[in-house]
Amino acid sequence: MQDLLFATLAIYVLGMISAIVLRRAAGRAAVAVFAALGSSMGAAAGVSVLVSGREVPLAPALSALHPQVQLQADPLGAVFLVLIGLVAVPAALYGFGYSKSYEGRYSLAALGVVLNALLLFLTLTVTATSPILFLFAWEGMTLAGFAAVLTEHDRQPTIRAATWYVAISHVGFLALVVMFLVLSGGDLSASFADIRTNAESLSPVALGAAFLLALAGFGAKAGIVPLHVWLPMAHPVAPSHISALLSGVVVKVAIYGFMRISLDLAGAGPAWWGGVALGIGAVSAIGGVLYALMQQDLKRLLAFSTVENVGIMLIAAGAAIVFRSYGLDELAILSIVACLYHALAHGVFKALLFLGAGSVLHATGSRDMEMFGGLSKRMPWTSAFFLLGAVAAAALPPLSGFASEWMVFQALLGGARIADPEGGAVMSVAAGALALAGGLAAACFVRAFGITFLGLPRSEESEVAHESPRSMRAGMGLLALGCIALGLLPSVIVPLLARAATGVEGRGAAVPSMQLGLALATPSGLSSFSPFALATMLLVAAAAIGLSIRMLQGPFRTRLSVTWGCGRFGQTSRMQYTATAFAEPLRRVFASVYRPLEDVSVDYHPDSKYFVYRITYASDLRQSFAAYFYHPLLLAVRIVAMRVRRLQSGSVHAYLLYVSLTVLLVLLVARVWH
Amino acid sequence: MDSLFSQLTALGSSLALVCSFMLLWRRSLDSFASAFTIQSIVVSAVTAVVGYFGNDSDLYYVAGLFLLLKAVLIPYVLRRTRRRIGALREDTPYVNTATSLLIGGLLVLLSYVVTRPLVVLSDLPTRSGIPLAMGIVFIGLFVIISRKKALTQIIGFLVLENGIALLAILGTYGIPLIVELGVFLDVLMGFWVMQVFLYQIDQTFDSIDVEQLNMLTEVTIRPADRVSGGGGA
């Protein structure tokens, strides 16, 4: 068990080597096998830690190599080890088939190395036990992600996306370094245990600063508003199985870091920490889904939806901090469990959706939804899997998204138990925000699925689209099973996650009052739900509706006709709802948020206005964050940089003068201080 | 006995400092080279004195090597270079002679200020020379900054290095021989590289006026590089 993790790391290294050594199909297969094997062994280690509920030092062989390298899985980290396995195994499998289309165009060796390196650093990040190790793994993860995003390096949007990604990530990294310096009292090689004791002696101001730095640093990686701009650019341009890992896992590891700091290392924080996290989470959830609704690029839509789901996780984590500060430990544990559950659930369904979008991209060569349509006939498997993922993402029962969001709601509704009116009010506002986000997400995924897979093909490429190869379908199938399992089995998984939550709480083995059994009851005592009963009811209802229709109408007659033909002849694909049109009502409702730029121009016949040649309609969303936040920021940086540039006169004497003056100044300062 | 020791080292340090002041009031490169040679001889002598009174025979080797390198080899190369480039004068330094001397004096004062804690704490017989050695370092730096000809700057660097060597000997009775050898090698290599560069600069620009190197900087600074904005929300 202890050496399982060492084996995992070694296997990833083997995967990297094989990517370089082996060519073509053999190379792709070796990369996929090693990545899947390594991540499933990591997940096995994670499961055994969760079942035993104890902290387990891992990979003693590495510690023997250097005493600073101490890896350890506690229940919290173990949850994320499991998540890595859940997503990486199907993604690796899928990647075997998917990366075939990269052969000859881009370096498969680089792609294979990057995949295994990303998994390696992810594993290290969630098992690190000291800031220095954590930061090293974190930076490795960032750079691996950077290389992954840059796979299709000859395209302008890719380069732009990668630049934004690496810039914002490094600002975040800086925040994390400062945060760890504050928490550890300046010693980055202290262990997390030392930091826990050190944090108790820190002033509330220092702890608050550390919390905000952690929020900014991890938020930059997780894609919280307003640090999210890179995410919808970078995640779509990566190869789809890497996109699945980036959105499904890497973002979650940032949530892990945030929970590790704000709920564990920094001790019990005041309520305002939770309030800040809740607020930012709510803004991210609503903002993310609002922008997701308006996207035409399918993968970009999914990336914005990731921003939404990160917001939901942040809401849950924030609620946990608030509850703990009011001493409502049961609700705090429920919130943490909900956050972790949503991390797992989102990891699985978002990976599934990205793989589905990848299959569509693979078949049609496009990510533009306005080019799709009618794919459900041509790609039945992909279509079914994507539908399943979309239902889970829309948080409909009985799939994974419902189970996790239900728990988040239960936790927030438990806010009524907070004696303080402010606390209760914040919770209910957050619950409202979550409900709004959930409704919009449902609309968003109806649109994503409907426009892509239903109706008539809108382009040649969609017309001749083909189903994906078996390995890609297998990858999606595994994730679909994951969605169903997470939806049906929360009563088995929740107690395991509660171990992670109690570990974080540092309260020993307090028993959470979530009962085992088929039904799941929450400590807020408001409600309980049984996924199996719900699923059975849904199936029975569906069957009943089908049967009753059949009984009312008599036996079905099969009649071949044009989809959505409505009896008209000469139906063309241009007559159907477009992605833009579908989103139009919401664009009008939320016009104050989107501030759409619209341009309508009509060409008339010169003699009469009643004869219209052509109507051109162009619409674009104002890039609010880019326009109001990043552009001024960049401009300010540029102005400062120009000022500073005057120092760079090019004169050797000036440079020498700077050096000498610095030396003199240092000497004088040292003299005055002593 | 001790007092003779400290008097000798103080005398040597003062002489070395005076030599570095020569760089400030003389103009011709020849006189710079001879000032450097004299200074090197003096520092070498101080090393030998410390070796004698401190009973450290290693320092004799250091002194010998020092003499060989800095009083024979480097001056020889300097003179050869000067012959190749022609008789040049440092006619228009950034700072004129009077001001240079004034600043030199201030720098020596400053070195007394910054080495004060060291001198107060130390009970070495050589301690009175420490501020003077520091002064040599500062003046070497000042020469590099304020003079335009690359050859003068090289000599400034060599003088600075002499100051550091003197400081090491006075402050610690000499660092281990192996380190000393490493430093010598460093200085020699650095000097060699500079010579090569100097020759190349002279060949390329027809001048060893460092001011001319300003032309190598990016001249155009475009203020209106477009801010390329975020595609996201």
How many Cα neighbours within 13 Å face the side chain of A438?
19
- Best CA proximity match to A308, nearest among A160, A176, A434, A184: A434
pLDDT along chain A (674 residues), means of 10: 80 91 86 92 90 77 74 89 95 91 85 93 92 93 93 88 92 94 88 88 91 95 88 91 93 94 86 92 93 90 94 94 87 89 95 94 89 88 94 88 88 84 85 93 93 87 87 93 90 83 58 49 64 83 88 73 68 80 86 80 84 83 73 88 79 81 88 76
Q: Residue A429 is inside which H or E element, if any? A: helix A421-453
- Arithmetic mean of pLDDT over chain B: 81
Return the ∠ at Cα A147 (arms to A143 and A150), rounded to 5°. Answer: 140
Bridge partners of residue B88, in order along the sequence: none
**pTM of the predicted model, to two decimals?**
0.76
- Residue ranges covered by each domain of chain A: 1-185+194-201+216-235, 268-507+580-589, 594-622, 629-673
B220 touches chain A (CB under 8 A): no
Helix (H, G, I), strand (E, B) or coil at A22: coil
Pair of tokens at residue B120: 């107060």
Residue A151, phi-psi category: left (phi > 0), alpha (psi -120 to 50), beta (remainder):
alpha
Model confidence at B107, pLDDT cuts 50, 70, 90, reads very high
Q: How far apart are CA A618 and CA A601, in angstroms?
A: 9
Q: Which two tokens stand for residue A336?
A: 């943490």
Q: State whether residue B73 sits within 8 Å of chain A by CB.
A: no
Q: How far apart are CA A451 and CA A461, in angstroms?
A: 15
Q: How confident is the model at residue B232 (pLDDT cuts 50, 70, 90)?
A: very low
Q: In whole angstroms, give the CA distance from residue B145 to residue A653.
A: 5
A61 CA: distance to closest CA in chain B (Å)? 39
Phi, psi at A194, each rounded to 5°: -60, -40
DSSP result, A449-489: HHHHHSS--SSHHHHT--PPPHHHHHHHHHHHHHHHHHHH-
Option in A291, A625, A674 nearest B230 (CB): A625
Which carries the bigger pLDDT value, residue A233 or residue B215? A233
Residue with tokens 């996780």: A313
Chain A residue with Cα closest to B153: A653
pLDDT > 90 fraction of chain B, expressed in percent and rounded: 22
Q: Do A233 and A165 touch, CB atoms closer than 8 A? A: yes
Round to whole Å and give the CA distance between A155 and A318: 39
Contact A141, A121 (CB under 8 A): yes
- Residue contact A656–B225, C-beta within 8 A: no
B38 at A interface, C-beta within 8 A: no
β-pair partners for A131? none
- Please give the pLDDT value at position B2: 60
Contacts of B113 in chain A (CB under 8 A): 668, 671
State the Cα–Cα distance between residues A174 and A154, nearest whole angstrom. Answer: 29
Q: What is the largest CA-CA distance in chain B?
A: 82
pLDDT in tens, B154-182: 888 889 989 988 988 888 876 777 777 77
Q: At what angle do helices A298-325 and A400-413 cross, to 10 degrees?
A: 30
B227 touches chain A (CB under 8 A): yes
User: How do the domains of chain B map onto residue ranges?
Assistant: 2-215
Residues of A in contact with B148 (CB under 8 A): 653
The residue with tokens 């139009």 is A584
Residue B220: pLDDT band with limits 50, 70, 90: very low
Q: Do B232 and A229 touch (CB under 8 A)?
A: yes
Rounded to whole angstroms, the Cα distance separating A74 from A71 reads 10
Mutate to test the interface with A, among B103, B106, B134, B144 (most CBs of A within 10 A): B144
Alpha helices in A554-590 (DSSP H): 579-589
Chain A environment of B214 (Cβ under 8 Å): 649-651
Does B146 contact A651 at a Cβ distance shorter than 8 Å? no
Q: How large is the ipTM?
A: 0.74
* Token duo for residue B44: 């070498």
Look at residues B50, B69, B71 and name the one whose alpha carbon lies nearest to residue B59: B50
Question: Rounded to an integer, what distance in angstroms lies between the CA atom of residue A516 and that of residue A530?
Answer: 11
A623 has a chain B CB within 8 A of its CB:
yes
Q: Is A512 left (phi over 0), alpha (psi -120 to 50) or beta?
A: beta
**Which positions 138-157 of A are in contact with B (Cβ < 8 Å)?**
157
